[in-house]
Amino acid sequence: MATSQTHAPLGDLIDLRGKRALVTGGGKGIGAAISARLVEAGAIVTIADLDPAAAPEVERIGAELVVCDVAAADQLRNAADQAANNAGLDIVVNNAGIFPTTGPLTQVTDEFVHRMLDINVRAQFSATREAAVRMPNGGSIINLASIAALGGGANISAYAASKAAVIALTSASANELGRSGIRVNAIAPGVIDTPGVQDQMEPLRAGGIDIDARIAANPVGLRGLPDHIACAALFLASGLAEFISGHVLVVDGGSTA
């Protein structure tokens, strides 16, 4: 049975020095913000990203880059090995995924759905497996879901289905791995101001719609930023969340309230 950190000093609970972390899709946006917060807390972070052009940003963060297609099992296994560095893993953040808009349901092809599920679900399953066998002392696995899994929406059917599967995977994995000291949680972001979201909304901007106002259209009235998700991930990775597993943490400014 794991030893509780309940009475540890606050500073110790958020101290990740010496912890080894793997963040998929960490070269930009939410993944980069999560990686930066983990590094700030002292973790040794390896970023698995498909784009080698992410190298300057990864270096700025203070992490190590492994060029990796998470949908390729051998590449994912290699990234996990490099992150563990013969010492095991402590934190894995399954951030890599295909972006939401998939088009009208009647126009989405089976090939697209297969690719969506392969990256957003199967790759997270594989990464969870690779993490579990490299966490001899327990650890924290954090999956990126979405509020789309909770409420759906037009033109995102395949994406919403994939993220709902992530939530189910999180729950099942938390039950299975808990006795090994491995906590599994998910974060469900709302609309976050990333380059991908800006690209998706560009047609609206061309039509005269205020994109910044649209991004901040939530009860809190704040523009959702990658660091909002990063702080949630840091919490779930830290000792502050030692009694939290199987949970979906919604971070959306109250949009789904």
Active-site amino acid positions: 159
Among residues 190, 143, 140, which one has the least CA distance to residue 168?
Answer: 143
- DSSP lists the bridge partners of residue 23 as 47, 93
Cα distances from 230 to residues 23, 74, 213, 217, 218, in angstroms, run: 11, 28, 22, 20, 19
- Of the CA atoms within 13 Å of residue 197, those in its CB half-sphere come to 18
Residue 59 per-residue DSSP state: H
Among residues 117, 254, 130, 132, which one has the least CA distance to residue 188?
Answer: 254
Q: With contact defined as beta carbons under 8 Å apart, do 79 and 95 qualify?
A: no
Rounded Cα distance between 96 and 127, Å, is 11
Rounded Cα distance between 95 and 101, Å, is 17
Output the six-digit token pair for 4. Answer: 């509780």
Rounded Cα distance between 30 and 181, Å, is 26
Rg (CA), the chain: 18
Other C-beta atoms lying within 10 Å of the C-beta of residue 116: 22
**Type and span of the H or E element at 66:** strand 64-67
